Amino acid sequence: MTTKTTRGIRNNNPGNIERNSANKWQGRMSRERMTEEQRKETRFEVFSAPTWGIRAMALLLINYQDRHGCSNVRQLIDRWAPPSENNTDAYVSAVAGAVGVAPTQFINTHEYRRMRPMVEAIIRHENGQQPYSSDVIEEGLRLAGVVNPGAKPLVAVPASVTTAAATAAAAGGTMAAVEAAQQLQPVIQGVLPAIQQVNAVAQATTGLPSWLRLAIAVGVMALAGASIFTWWRLRRARKAVSA
């Protein structure tokens, strides 16, 4: 038995977000790429991939909280699916149950642990199914700046350079590699905070415009560079005193 694909799934718009001239959504499908059915769509947005539709869902929910003061599932769903058009009580009950909170309990829409089950519950309620893989949901949320705190970092930071060098030596290198790594350990420890800062900013600003992300990244890197330079000067001063 096959499950009929709903309008929202066919439009890559699983939240059934209505068109609004004020919203210039990223990932909106160009008319040239639309199917004949999608070209006839007059009410709902059509996205080029499900991840963009999921991103739009998350950004709308965040906007409802940040700009309109919706602080719980009841208020969020009342705005998402007004009682004049929907059985909002049933909708609220389904979403609150999925998120694991009372309908009037405060939630933070910027938190992955709240946003993910809420988005999945809305998709299920709007379409009668939630057909997307975990990776698709996670990527859509990441595009909105809602990052899984347990996700693998963009920059792998070694726990210990000495350990890494020792492993290489055991695989056929020499003890000189270990000794060199031990000498470099203080340098690496000084650089690691900068790497971690850049990595954190890269993940936290994913949903922002590219020019703003670049400006923030440049600022963080400048601060990190200043920190490294200060550390280097202090290290030289200590060496001069001990000489």
The first and second tokens of residue 186, run together, are 């203080």
Residue 161 has pLDDT above 80, yes or no: no
- pLDDT exceeds 60 at position 148: yes
Domain extent, residue 236, equals 161-242
For residue 123, the 8-state DSSP code is: H
Task: Report d(CA 10, CA 30) in Å as an integer.
Answer: 15
| Residues making up the chain, counted from first to last | 243
The DSSP annotation for 39-96 comes to HT--SB--BSSHHHHHHHHHHHHHHHHHHH---BHHHHHHHHS-TTTS-HHHHHHHHH
- The secondary element (H helix, E strand) that includes residue 103 is none
Residue 109 in this model has a pLDDT that exceeds 60: yes
Token couple for 184: 């470099």
Determine contact, residues 72/104, Cβ cutoff 8 Å: yes
Same domain, 15 and 110: yes
226 shares a domain with 196: yes
* Domain-located, residue 19: yes
Q: Do 181 and 165 contact (CB within 8 A), yes or no?
A: yes
Return d(Cα 118, Cα 157) in angstroms, integer: 32
Q: Any idea which of 13-22, 116-125, 131-140, 227-236 has the lowest mean pLDDT?
A: 227-236
Same domain? 17 vs 91: yes
Q: 45 and 123 share a domain?
A: yes
Please check whether residues 107 and 180 belong to one and the same domain. Answer: no
Whether the pTM exceeds 0.95: the reply is no
Same domain for 96 and 133? yes
Shared domain for 16 and 54, answered yes or no, is yes
CA angle, corner 109, sides to 18 and 58, nearest 5? 30
Residue with more model confidence, 243 or 80: 80
Same domain, 57 and 130: yes
Residues 1-37 pLDDT 10s? 445 789 999 999 999 999 988 888 999 999 999 999 9
Mark whether 63 and 165 lie in a shared domain.
no
Asked if the structure places residue 52 within a domain, the reply is yes
Q: Whole-number mean pLDDT of the chain?
A: 80
Digit-coded pLDDT (tens) for 42-98: 999 999 999 999 999 999 999 999 999 999 999 999 999 999 888 999 999 999 999
Comparison of pLDDT for 111 and 151, the residue scoring more: 111
pLDDT in tens, 169-212: 444 554 444 454 454 455 445 555 555 555 555 555 555 556 66
DSSP conformation letters of 128-194: S-----HHHHHHHHHHTT---TTSPPSS---S-HHHHHHHHHHTT--HHHHHHHHHHHHHHHHHHHH
